[in-house]
Structure 1
Amino acid sequence: MPEDRSLPAGVRPHPQRHILPVDGEEVVQIRARVAALEQALDHSREAERVTAIERDALLASFSWRAMAPVRRLTDAWRNLRKPAPVAVAPPPVPELPPGLDYGRWLRDYHSLSGDDRAAILAHIDGLPARPTIAIVIPIDQETVRFLPATVLSIRAQLYAHWEICIAGTASSLDQARSLTPKDATGIRYILSRGSSAAFAAALPQIGSDFVTLMAPGDRLADEALYEVAATLNDYPDSDLIYTDEDCINAAGRRFAPAFKSAWNIDLHLGQNLTGRLTVYRRSLLQRFNGTALAGEHDLALAVASTSLPSRIRHIPSVLYHRLMPDGPAPGLFDPMQPPAWTQASRTAAETYLTGKGLSGRAELLEWSGAAAAGAEASGAAAAGAEASGAAASGAATRLQLRWPLPDPAPRVSLILPTRDNHALLARCAAGLLHRTDYPDIELIIIDNDSRQADTLDLLSRLQQDRRVRVLPYRAPFNYSAINNMAVAQATGDVILLINDDIDVIDGGWLREMVALASRPDIGAVGAKLFYGDGRIQHAGVILGVGQHNGRGGIAGHFGHGTDGNEPGYLDQYALTREVSAVTAACMALRREVFTAVGGFDAEHLPIAYNDVDLCLRIRAQGLRVVWTPFATLFHLESQSRGRDMTPEQLARAAREATYMRDRWDHELNHDPFYNPNFDWDYPMQRLAEPPRRPKPWRAAAP
């Protein structure tokens, strides 16, 4: 290749050329940068060649030539009717998070410099293992024309240990051969009955230990396979690895990023969490012989049914670009949503349940995410109307697993602390006792020294119901100690912690929470809580939000302040999912779990963060914390206690925050269910600048 002596833009040539001595390390770095530049130039030339091939193939196609008369007539008609030119602004691109300049963020934080490429190549050279990754590309007569861009992106990978398996019918394979480089190595052509059967046909012929799927036209980031290989070296027992992704149009513009959660089986049972790029251990897929595996959702469920959650890894980096030639469709394109759920999706979900010994314990339901989200907050007529409109307009369909109650239904002890809060307590108790559809409850009200006559009268009247007990607590308010005392006297197998500023919306809320809390792998369950005006107050807890003494914050709420009709980013407010913690304003858990972890920490966390601490201790025991949108209640946040505003209260809150940071610093900095590309200071509203995940090749540098 001839030497390129051009200078970067803005750099003037020096009048004299000084040759300075360089050490061996600098020589290695310079050579690596030169190699990267040569590779980039080859990449550009290959892209130009592929574009020419695609253009020529299109112009030579029968359909293009057959439609020539129609095009001429259409052009003539348009010219006759063409109005005077008017400047029309292009429609806005609905990107998330709101207001995000995604293109600028990509340029600033997600582009590879020459130094990055050199560091990646050096890291690859030092990897103890370099597994080969097979990439299956199903094609047909319609999609084969997009193939060159996909093959080009694979050949441009910094990690060179891959093989391409193009699978399709005989005629589509003939076209594929004409569109791919004649001298290309590492490409195999596999005959199949069609694109839908391509993966099943390719799987037995693949010799690599790991395999992934790509669609024609989709592209990989240059570092994609390197990141997968580095993860396999760090976690060699991995059975499935998936990454973040976005979309790309014909002009190369990227949009609609999908920043995903860590592995979350409850969420994946309702939607396609893993999406693309997803790399599977081939030996696990072979157990299914490629049958009933219609897409990424089914493949991931198949692996999850025979693997351990600890062997499923998420790389929080945008490494895959789905082709949408015409750009975003009306409304936000959701990469997690297939065009329609198929019976194969239901079958795969049921196969997962059977593999985990859960057959017959859950009912699979299809539902419209937007409609369900609005219907849950049906306290306002406008919300119901809006939800109906969403359903009528073809809202995305998801799968819901409805878990049945054990038979017989366990007794539930509702633990409710209160003090001189007559109006709120009356409404809360009425909802629990008379608007909740559950066969066996006891309501334990802990009276923290109420003195107002109307409150004392209400407590007296409530005790006339045989399901109600009132326990006195005369000491200063200590939320943790109050609840610990009540749980010790409870008779139910399930504990439901609840605030007195909660009001029931849907009578089936408790059945949903108890059904989930009764699962042996679940430690605690949270509900979807709304403000009185219908906005979301709680959709799970995010760890680390905000700041405390320069060390990062403690916790915040998913969805806080969001319109209650919104399903949320990637439907996170409308699907049952695992989270790191839930609020004790409405939390269900088995009494044995509460006892096993020692209850609330009354010494260090008397008021705040005790629920987060409890959930983290539950998770440390290997149990999961889940949140469900199918149990909905109103919550007038902190109305019963007020705000922490006095100097004494502020000092106490600071002590509790410091204790949480000292005890859970690592967990607070690494919430697996809150993508590190998101900003802690603006939860779910904008991207972190820079992202909180360090680049692995820099961490690997000596």
Structure 2
Amino acid sequence: MAGMTDLRIEGIEVIGAGKVVLDAHSKVFFKIKPYLKLSALSVQFIVSVRPVDTARPMRVYIDHGRGYTVAGSYLLQPLEGESRFGIHIPLPQFVHEVRIDFQGAVVGAAELDAFYIQRSDPRALLRNFLDLSEADQRTIITGKVSSVVAAIRSRRTEIEQDVATSIPMAGLSSAVSHGLLWSAIHSAHSDPLYRSFIGRFNHLTEGDRAWMRQRAESFGTKPFFSVVMPVYNPPVDLLIEAVRSLQAQTYPHWELCLADDASPDFAVRNTIVRLAEEDPRIRYVFRETNGHISESSNAAAALAAGDYLVLMDNDDFLPAHALWTAAYYIDQNPGCKLLYSDEDKFNLEGFHADPYFKGDFDRFLMYGHNLFSHLGIYDRALFNEVGGFRKGYEGSQDYDLTLRCMERIDEKQIVHIPHVLYHWRQVLGSTAIGAGQKDYAFEAAKRSINSHFERMAYPLRSVDSGIPGIASVQTLTVENPQTISIVIPTRNGLGVLKPCIESLMRVADPLVQIVIVDNFSDDAETLAYLDELRRDRNRFVVVRSETDFNFSHLCNLGVQRATGEIICLLNNDTEVVTTDLFHRVRAWLSIDDVGMVGARLLFPDGFLQHFGVYLGIGGGDPEIAVHAHFRRPGAEHTQFSKSKILQQFAAVTAACCFMRRTDWDQIGGMDESFAVAYNDVDLCLRVRQQGLKIICDPGITMIHKESITRGADVNPTKVVRLKREAEHMMAKWGAEGLRDPFFSPNFSARSPYFEVGESPRGPVPWKDPEAAPG
């Protein structure tokens, strides 16, 4: 509690050293000690508490003498480490009191490791600032000053009133703090591990450059790139920085096609002319009237002579190896038509931040957000074939373009480049700060997706998800709905089986059959309950198996007795949450290349049990599979909301999954050599071998109590069996077969929680593989 005075707490119970109990209304009030108020221009508040639900972050309220207001409140920002949060509070001499609201971020017993105020470290505040380019320094300063001025303007009346009262400029000091904090809080969080990662691999040595020149000579094709850049009134220095990043490219075969969309600032036009006079690779056109970004992008593309179009915004920048790496991947993938790379943000504080490490192309993930985006590269003939950008989709014009292009080609012609080749600069008002900055762009995105659904005749509709900038998918009714058989293996366990069945009955569907496979139950109450269900022949089939437990065999046995056109495998320890699950499944499985649909499973405490499976991850021996987002808070939006939105996975759990009976029969059902573990992963891999996709639908949600009947694999016999089946999986599929296409090689393989690895788990093509690291 260092640096604080007049501390008081509400809704917090201390139960031991460092142990507290908090609830959704817990608050802490304190004042900053006088010596800090008098000696520091800025102080930092730090709290370390765990566990914490990051989807409901803690909030700090600052009272400058007029009481607490929502406008004077700010979300605490994550610091280094999983449980540390903090915020810098400028001008502490004008701060009357501070309040911390836990507001549900922590509920129940928690460990409070730290809670204190200290002087802000000027070295931390200025770190890297002086090493930035002058343009970036000006951008940061301008952003902060603009925020302060805007805050002062919005509180002008309040500030003028303060001058005539005894309150010493409370409104002015509050406005200054609000402006400064707004810039910092809206700046993307910069992880020190990522800064180290990008610093090591983006730095090009002379040896790297020599290697790249030598390697490029062996390219079977040397694509010519036309960089398409629509321009409208950017800060001139940022436009110059963008162009300079192109001129610094190690790959020489490119041109820049600029279309100025009638910028009112003549300095922009003058700059374009001057840059073009200096460099003949720069071509430009000045539009006489403003037509917005779709028309100006088409005007720029009309200048292009390249094999591929590369989309770039007029205030972003590329690393020096970006175009060389794109050429390398084109050479490695003959006939590719679309390419996209990983990307990051260059934040308001001047750091590389918030990297989006992507997986292989996933059109279903595209229905939630624009996976493709930056760096987006398009075959020019394909671009012309679809008619370029469409007017009316401004803000998401590239989203709409990608959806139309992907409809014309095989998905094998879409290549993911697993390297950060695009730095998206945060400026005030940009969607790089937050998706909510441009609501019109999100509305255009939904129109783009719905237009795609109509062209493809999918029974789907794009709707709001409740997450800014993220879309959700609503399923529509299909004609001639298919029958569904739910296969539930069980042994005794009436306490979980009965709630499972009752939850299914609450969403009763006349076309649904329930097949219960009883694995030698000997509990009298369970047997009586099964006899009761057996008498309802219209809805239930009860199959008796008196063999040793083999989950694969039980599922195969149940499917043999099933009559449904769609098969659902369901654990007996699940309960339905979603009421329209059958409606959704029928819609998904009406799409030809969807082979399996998985669900989002929550533990009874609301934490995630399952939302897809990642292969080859987790630090096991051997590494086979882990549940994505395991034990994360159910409301949390991690990894660009991928913990909450529709997407593909290499596998899903058989605790709840759906597939067509014809596909089940085609692949021969479950492999009974996997008696307990990995049978579902093996099933999914064989489904994918048929060219079918496996999706996880967040709209199908269930509670899963997980392995209550059978128990966890913790005793020595079960551990040995699990290891044996893992070795069997590795022998059957091999390391390449267990490579996950949707888990980025830039993440550590030791953890499923998207931790930046020390180095990529694949080649870095612009680095000489025989050269010493560095």
Q: What TM bracket, shorter-length normalisation? A: 0.7 to 0.9
- Aligned-partner residue type, residue 185 of structure 1: P
Look up the equivalent residue of 1:419 and give its one-letter code. R
1:297 aligns with 2:389: no
One-letter amino acid of the counterpart of residue 163, structure 1? E
Output the amino acid matched with 2:596. Answer: A
> Quick check: 2:670–2:679 contact (8 Å CA) kept in 1?
yes
2:522 alignment counterpart: 451
Change (3 A) 1:334 1:417: farther
1:224 to 322, 326, 331: 322
Q: Please, which of 239, 248, 271 is the counterpart of residue 176 of structure 1?
A: 271
Aligned residue for 2:733? 664
Higher relative contact order (CA 8 A, sep 6+): 1
The farther-off stretch of 143-152 and 629-638 is 143-152
What is the CA deviation profile of residues 29-48 of structure 1, one whole-angstrom value per residue up to 9, with x for unaligned ones? xxxxxxxxxxxxxxxxxx97
CA distance in 1, matches of 2:707, 2:736: 26
* Aligned residue among 595, 610, 625 for 1:555: 625
Supply the distance in 1 between the matched residues of 2:561 and 2:734 (Cα, whole angstroms): 34
What CA distance in whole angstroms lies between the structure 2 residues aligned with 1:323 and 1:48? 13
Mapped pair 1:101 → 2:173: no
- Could you say if the C-alpha distance between residues 105 and 609 of structure 1 is closer, same or farther in structure 2, counting changes exceeding 3 Å? same
Q: Could you tell me which residue of structure 1 aligns to residue 684 of structure 2?
A: 615
Other structure's SS at 1:569 match: coil
What CA RMSD, in Å, does the superposition of the two structures yield over aligned residues? Answer: 3.4
Task: For 2:389 and 2:248, locate their aligned partners in 1 and report how far apart those are by CA, in whole Å.
Answer: 32
Provide the C-alpha distance between the structure 2 equivalents of 1:417 and 1:506, rounded to a whole number of angstroms: 21
Distance 1:145 1:95 in 2: 22
> What one-letter code is carried by the residue in structure 1 that aligns with 2:462?
L
Is residue 419 of structure 1 aligned with residue 511 of structure 2?
A: no
Shift of 1:563: 0.9
- Are the equivalent residues in 1 in contact too, given 2:187–2:426 (CA < 8 A)? no
1:687 Cα offset (Å): 1.0
Residue from 592, 595, 603 that aligns with 2:662: 592
Tell me, in whole angstroms, the C-alpha distance in 1 between the residues paired with 2:578 and 2:262.
Answer: 57
Which residue of the other structure, out of 464, 479, 484, is the alignment partner of 1:367?
464
**Secondary structure, aligned partner of 1:581:** coil
Check conservation: 2:372, 2:402, Cα contact below 8 A: yes
Amino acid in structure 2 at the alignment position of 1:345: A
Map of 1:128 onto structure 2:
220
Q: Which secondary structure state, in structure 2, belongs to the residue aligned with residue 459 of structure 1?
A: helix
How big is the shift at 1:333?
4.4
**Which piece of structure 1 moves more, 169-178 or 540-549?**
169-178
**Shift in alpha-carbon separation, 1:437–1:458, aligned structure 2, 3 A:** closer
Cα offset for 1:136? 1.2
Which segment drifts farther, 585-594 or 138-147?
Answer: 138-147
For 1:253, which of 336, 348, 351 is the aligned residue? 351
Identify the match of residue 213 of structure 1 among 308, 311, 322: 311
Corresponding residue for residue 764 of structure 2: 695
SS in 2 for 1:500: coil
Give the counterpart letter for 1:188 in structure 2.
R
1:256 and 1:680 map into 2 onto residues whose CA distance is 19
- The Cα offsets for residues 340-399 of structure 1, whole Å up to 9 and x where unpaired, read as 4455434432443455xx32x323232134xxxxxxxxxxxxxxxxxxxxxxxxx41433
Counterparts of 1:459-470 in structure 2, within 5 Å, are 459-466=530-537, 467-470=539-542
Residue 266 of structure 1 is matched in structure 2 by 364
Give the corresponding residue for 1:21.
Answer: none
Is the aligned partner of 1:204 residue 2:276? no
Partner of 2:206: 114
Give the match for residue 345 of structure 1. 445
Question: Where does residue 119 of structure 2 map in the other structure?
Answer: none
- What are the superposed Cα offsets for residues 244-292 of structure 1, whole Å, 9 maximum, x if unpaired? 1111146642112111221000110221111111100111111233342
Distance 2:518 2:221 in 1: 63
Percent identity between the two aligned chains:
30
**Which of 243, 257, 262 pairs up with 1:165?**
257
Query: Who is 2:378 aligned against?
Result: 280
Q: For residue 601 of structure 1, what is the aligned residue in structure 2? A: 671
Residue 443 of structure 1: how far off its partner (Å): 0.6
Distance in 1 (alpha carbons) for counterparts of 2:189 and 2:614: 18
Structure 1 gap segments, 5+ residues each: 1-46, 370-394
Matched, 1:320 2:422: yes
**Cα distance between partner residues in 2 of 1:49 and 1:646:** 62
Counterpart-to-counterpart distance in 1, 2:278 and 2:389: 34
Q: Which has the higher strand share?
A: 2
What is the CA distance between 1:400 and its match in structure 2?
3.0
Give the distance between the partners of 2:465 and 2:234, measured in 1 at CA. Answer: 30
Query: What corresponds to 2:245 in structure 1?
Result: 153
Taking structure 1 as the reference length, what is the TM-score of the superposition? Answer: 0.79
Equivalent in 615, 620, 623 of residue 543 of structure 1: 615
Deviation, structure 1 residue 206: 1.3
**CA drift at 1:144:** 4.8
Query: How far apart are the structure 2 equivalents of 1:673 and 1:473?
Result: 38
Distance in 2 (alpha carbons) for counterparts of 1:450 and 1:510: 29
Letter in 2 for 1:476: D
Q: 1:634 aligns with which of 691, 700, 703?
A: 703
CA distance in 2, matches of 1:508, 1:141: 49
Mapped to 2, the partners of 1:693 and 1:246 lie a distance apart of 19
SS at match of 1:592: helix
Query: Displacement, 1:112?
Result: 2.8
- One-letter identity of the residue aligned with 1:564: G
CA distance in 2, matches of 1:338, 1:446: 53
The answer to whether the 8 Å contact 1:95/1:257 transfers is: no
Q: Which is richer in helix? A: 1
Where does structure 2 lack aligned partners over 5 or more consecutive residues? 1-131
Deviation of residue 492 (structure 1)? 0.4
Whether 1:241 aligns to 2:339 is yes
The answer to whether 1:306 aligns with 2:376 is: no
Provide the C-alpha distance between the structure 2 equivalents of 1:530 and 1:51, rounded to a whole number of angstroms.
Answer: 44
- Residues 549-596 of structure 1: CA distance to partner in whole angstroms, max 9, x if unpaired? 4xx510011111111111321111222111100000000000111111
Q: 1:697 Cα shift?
A: 3.6
Q: What is residue 20 of structure 1 aligned with on the other side? A: none
Return closer, same or farther for 1:177/1:405 CA change in 2, 3 Å cut-off: closer
Cα contact 2:297–2:389 (8 A) shared by 1: no
Q: Do the aligned residues in 2 keep the contact of 1:518 with 1:590 (CA within 8 Å)?
A: no
Aligned to 1:648: 717
Match of residue 506, structure 2, among 409, 431, 435: 435
Residues in 2 aligned to 1:646 and 1:625: alpha-carbon distance in whole angstroms: 33
Q: Does 1:577 align with 2:672?
A: no
Q: Per-residue deviation at 1:146?
A: 2.2
Conserved? CA contact 1:438–1:511, under 8 Å: no
- Once the two structures are superposed, residues 2-48 of structure 1 have per-residue CA deviations (whole angstroms, 9 ceiling, x without a partner) of xxxxxxxxxxxxxxxxxxxxxxxxxxxxxxxxxxxxxxxxxxxxx97
Q: 1:207 to 1:600 in 2, by over 3 A?
A: same
Q: In structure 2, do the counterparts of structure 1 residues 83 and 405 end up closer, same or farther at CA, with 3 Å as the change threshold? A: closer
Relative distance call for 1:513 and 1:157 in structure 2 (3 A) is same
The CA deviation at 1:325 is 3.8
Deviations 1:205-260 (A, max 9, x none): 31111002111120001111111000110112111100111111466421121112
How many residues align? The count is 605
1:430-489 CA distance string (max 9 Å, x none)? 111x21253311111001000011111111122232311110000000000111111112
CA contact 1:119–1:697 (8 Å) conserved in 2: yes
Look up the equivalent residue of 1:235 and give its one-letter code: N
1: CA distance between counterparts of 2:445 and 2:269?
32
CA distance in 1, matches of 2:588, 2:348: 45
Q: Match for residue 470 of structure 2?
A: 398
Instruction: Give the letter for the 1:688 counterpart.
Output: G
